[in-house]
Amino acid sequence: LPAPPPARPTFHHGDLRSALIAAVGELIEVHGPDGFSVAEAARRAGVSSAAPYKHFRDRPEILRAVVAEAMDRLHAAMTAAAAGQTPGSPEQIAAVGHAYVDFARAGPGVFRLVFGLTEGHDEDPSLQAKGQACFDVVARAVAASLGQPVEADAVQRSAYVLWTCVHGHAFLTIDRKADVVATGFDDHSYLMAVARAVLERAAAGTVGG
């Protein structure tokens, strides 16, 4: 018979909310975004299957908390990456992209969850704001490069193109679909190539239309 979960030293857990979010994250890495169960997360946290309901209304609310926490981490990583480079340089764009790709690779399951379409997530204003904040990190770098305001069409378009490239690259690698490409295109050369291409074309005014 299976060993009982490691008995907590105290009756109260201490920080069950965080422990559950972490446990769900781990389960999602193993079983995919839909493959986790409240019961198994509770087991991992060493707690009865009813305990989670003291902290979350239901299963979807737990999922939303996992997404929120992950988006905060992504935003922090992108911001830190941008801070370490010259504003507006291709190197800065590449560094932000690298943070994005690293985030995806470090937790592919959670990455898919964050960027997937989950009922109720797109209507949540706090999640929307976190997504916008991530995009703005890229947009600010592009704006600095072009010497135009962040809201300018050229800036928004170029930032979007960069986003699609990096997003696609992140997905294709975590989903192991990038192996078909015969040549060795490592993250750095890919990101620099894309950053230079978009910035130069934007500066020349040839993006969009």
Contact between 163 and its own copies (CB under 8 A)? yes
Residue 190 lies near its own copies (rule: CB under 8 A): yes
For 5-58, where are the alpha helices, taking DSSP H only? 16-31, 38-44
**Interacting partner of 93 out of its own copies, DNA, none (Cβ under 5 to 8 A depending on kind):** none
Residue selected from 160, 187, 195, 203 as contacting its own copies according to rule CB under 8 A: 160
Q: Determine which residue in the list 18, 37, 79, 85 makes contact with DNA, applying CB under 7 A.
A: 37
46/131 with CB nearer DNA: 46
22 is an interface residue for DNA by CB under 7 A: no
Token code pair at residue 179: 């192996």
Residue 128: alpha-carbon gap to chain centroid: 13
- CA dist., res. 21 & res. 3, Å (int): 23
Member of 30, 50, 80, 129 binding DNA (CB under 7 A) = 50
Q: How many residues bind DNA (CB under 7 A)?
A: 22
Among 21, 23, 28, 38, binds DNA (CB under 7 A): 38
User: Would you say 17 and 52 are in contact if contact means Cβ atoms under 8 Å apart?
Assistant: no
Q: What residue type is assigned to position 207 of the chain?
A: V
CB of 124 within 8 A of CB of 64? yes
